[in-house]
């Protein structure tokens, strides 16, 4: 079945550092790819998405590109802020609407 | 427009009791999914309902059940609660048109504590 693998956390960074969170997936067909973010005590919020190969999703300075050849959807941000401290989830959705999440990666940004 | 609304936000129950959680999806969304989130197991899929029919189901015991009403609102029920059922229960809604690529919109969750 479909699966998503994310790098384990926590990832600890200083403010203004570059952030990368790796995400790879296995799936049949052509899933849509998503990144969600969860702040403490809250539900998940959609951060960005990409629906076909080579699409780039972007939001709030975060970017991720749908790489079909490497089945990856790595999340990047050029300069993180303390407010970016959260748990980030990579996810895939097949054409039937079935969703699969990765285990989540906690990011801690220190001043 | 209103987001996904989950009630209650917090709940404390005793072992052996049963509990019902409610989720109101975004207007127009016909798919509602439920997830259990715990520190040890992460996000685990419970089930998904679409147009009042359970379309997908995760690997949870029969104590966990759900339903969806004609207005797309959904409830999940857990019977004979165990300590291990303590978790954040998240509901998510989606347009989920076949062949579509819509993501989920999540509610803030219901924090269930079993004592």
Chain A residue closest to B38 (CA)?
Answer: A103
Beta-carbon contacts of residue B17 (< 8 Å; ≥ 6 apart): B81
| CA-closest candidate to residue A25, choices A107, A94, A105, A95 | A94
- CA distances from residue B62 to A12, B21, B46, B77, B78 in whole angstroms, order as listed: 40, 16, 11, 10, 9
Verify whether the Cβ–Cβ distance A42 to B107 is below 8 Å.
no
Chain B residue closest to A50 (CA)?
Answer: B101
CA–CA min distance B31, chain A (Å): 9
Q: Which residues of A touch B42 (CB under 8 A)?
A: 101, 103-104
Beta-carbon contacts of residue B76 (< 8 Å; ≥ 6 apart): B20, B21, B23, B34, B46, B47, B64, B65, B66, B89, B91
Q: What is the pLDDT of residue B96?
A: 66
- Cα A50 to the center of its chain, rounded Å: 11
Verify whether the Cβ–Cβ distance B42 to A103 is below 8 Å.
yes
Reply yes or no: is the peptide bond before residue B5 cis, omega within 30 of 0: no
Is A3 at the interface with chain B, CB within 8 A?
A: no
| CA-closest candidate to residue B96, choices B4, B19, B32 | B32
Cα dihedral B44, A94, B92, B11 in deg (nearest 10): -10
Return d(Cα A101, Cα A36) in angstroms, integer.
Answer: 9
- Among B30, B32, B43, B100, most A C-beta atoms within 10 A, so best to mutate, is B43
Return d(Cα B34, Cα B50) in angstroms, integer.
Answer: 12
When CB atoms are compared, the residue of A42, A46, A104 closest to B42 is A104
Question: What's the whole-number average pLDDT of chain A?
Answer: 92
Low-confidence ranges of chain B (pLDDT < 50): 99
pLDDT tens for each residue of A48-76: 999 889 999 999 999 999 999 999 999 99
- Using an 8 Å Cβ cutoff, are A98 and A2 in contact? yes
Q: What is the pLDDT of residue A43?
A: 86
Q: What is the pLDDT of residue B97?
A: 63
- Using an 8 Å Cβ cutoff, are A65 and A93 in contact? no
* Residues 30-69 in A contacting B (C-alpha not used; CB under 8 Å): 32, 34, 36, 42-46, 49, 51
Verify whether the Cβ–Cβ distance B43 to A89 is below 8 Å.
yes
Q: Return the number of other C-beta atoms located less than 10 Å from residue A13's C-beta.
A: 18
DSSP type of residue B40: T
Q: How many helices (H) and strands (E) does chain B have?
A: 0, 11
If you count residue pairs, one on A and one on B, with CB atoms under 8 Å apart, how many are there? 63
Is A93 at the interface with chain B, CB within 8 A?
A: yes
Altogether, the residues listed in chain B come to a count of 115
Categorize the per-residue pLDDT at A30 as very low, low, confident or very high, splitting at 50, 70 and 90: confident
Q: Which residues of B touch A97 (CB under 8 A)?
A: 31, 48, 50, 55, 94, 96-98, 100, 102
- Using an 8 Å Cβ cutoff, are A108 and A11 in contact? yes
Q: What is the pLDDT of residue B1?
A: 60
Q: What is the pLDDT of residue B98?
A: 56
């Amino acid at each position: 079945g479909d699966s998503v693998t994310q790098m384990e956390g926590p990832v600890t960074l200083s403010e203004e550092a570059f952030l990368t969170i790796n995400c790879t997936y296995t799936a049949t067909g052509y899933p849509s790819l998503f990144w969600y973010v969860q702040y403490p005590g809250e539900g998940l919020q959609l951060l960005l998405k990409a629906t076909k190969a080579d699409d780039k999703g972007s939001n709030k300075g975060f970017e991720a590109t749908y790489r079909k050849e490497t089945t990856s959807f790595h999340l990047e941000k050029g300069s993180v802020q303390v407010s970016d401290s959260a748990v980030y989830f990579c996810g895939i959705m097949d054409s039937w609407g079935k969703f699969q999440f990765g285990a989540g990666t906690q990011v801690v940004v220190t001043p | 427009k209103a987001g996904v609304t989950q009630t209650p936000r917090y709940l404390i129950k005793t072992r052996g009791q049963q509990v019902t959680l409610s989720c109101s999806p975004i207007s127009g969304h016909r798919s509602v999914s439920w997830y259990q989130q715990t520190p040890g197991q992460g996000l685990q899929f419970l089930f998904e309902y679409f147009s009042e029919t359970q379309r997908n189901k995760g690997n949870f015991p029969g104590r966990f059940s759900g339903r969806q009403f004609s207005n797309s609102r959904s409830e999940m029920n857990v019977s004979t609660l165990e300590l291990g059922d303590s978790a954040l229960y998240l509901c998510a809604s989606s347009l989920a048109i076949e062949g579509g690529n819509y993501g989920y919109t999540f509610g803030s969750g219901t924090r269930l504590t079993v004592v």
